[in-house]
Amino acid sequence: MTNNPCAAWTKGDPLVLKYHDTRWGKVCHDERELFAMLCLEGMQAGLSWATIVKKEEAMREAYDGFNPEILAGYSEDDVRRLMGTDGIVKNERKIRSVIGNAKAYLKFMESGEYKSFDEYIWHFTGGVQIVHHFKILNELPSSDSLSTMISNDLKSRGFSFVGPVIIYSYLQAIGVYDDHLDSCPCKNNQIYS
């Protein structure tokens, strides 16, 4: 799909192209993956997505697969370990955010307000993927009213690095939004988990 105008943002990087073709915009209902992608999107703030894709495997390993039960128990020793781990994003605020978000996630799950994070995130659209119909990449917004609403709700629940721009990107990543261009062969392309 190298001639795909939707994939122009991959800049020909094979890892990013694979991400575009196999994961981006695909509906995700896997609890662990929904939390992991929230962490990865937060890590991306101020960086390119290509940077995150290249570091994703190392970050998943360094962060115990983004298992919130393990992350919530991380100590200052773990923060220091992560700051010294090669191949990951070494930003102390982002590292502490992942740990804090794991704690917020567990508190949220313990509240019983929703039976799962999947139910929570998808309730905003009634469980239905929103398929946008953009013709060129420049039409894609960086945020919208839904990402702002979810951002505010997550912040009120103690999550950090969840601003409207990060959440818009998150909604794309987990398939709440299908923002593939109408001319993209990946448009309306099923579920990956």
Q: Is residue 7's pLDDT more than 80?
A: no
Query: Exactly one of 24, 33, 41, 56 is catalytic; which is it?
Result: 41
List C-alpha distances in Å: 191 to 27, 30, 150, 162, 186: 5, 10, 22, 24, 11
Asked if 41 is an active-site residue, the reply is yes
Residue 67 is predicted with a pLDDT of 98
Q: Is residue 32's pLDDT more than 60?
A: yes
Please tell me the CATH superfamily of domain 5-178, with its number.
Hypothetical protein; domain 2 (1.10.340.30)
Residue 50 backbone class (left: φ over 0; alpha: ψ -120 to 50; beta: rest): alpha
Query: Exactly one of 9, 24, 31, 49 is catalytic; which is it?
Result: 49
Asked if 19 is an active-site residue, the reply is yes
Q: Where are the alpha helices (DSSP H) in 45-75?
A: 49-62, 68-71
Asked if 24 is an active-site residue, the reply is no
Residue 1 is predicted with a pLDDT of 42
Express each pLDDT in 143-172 by its tens digit.
999 999 999 999 999 999 999 999 999 999
Express each pLDDT in 95-125 by its tens digit.
999 999 999 999 999 999 999 999 999 999 9
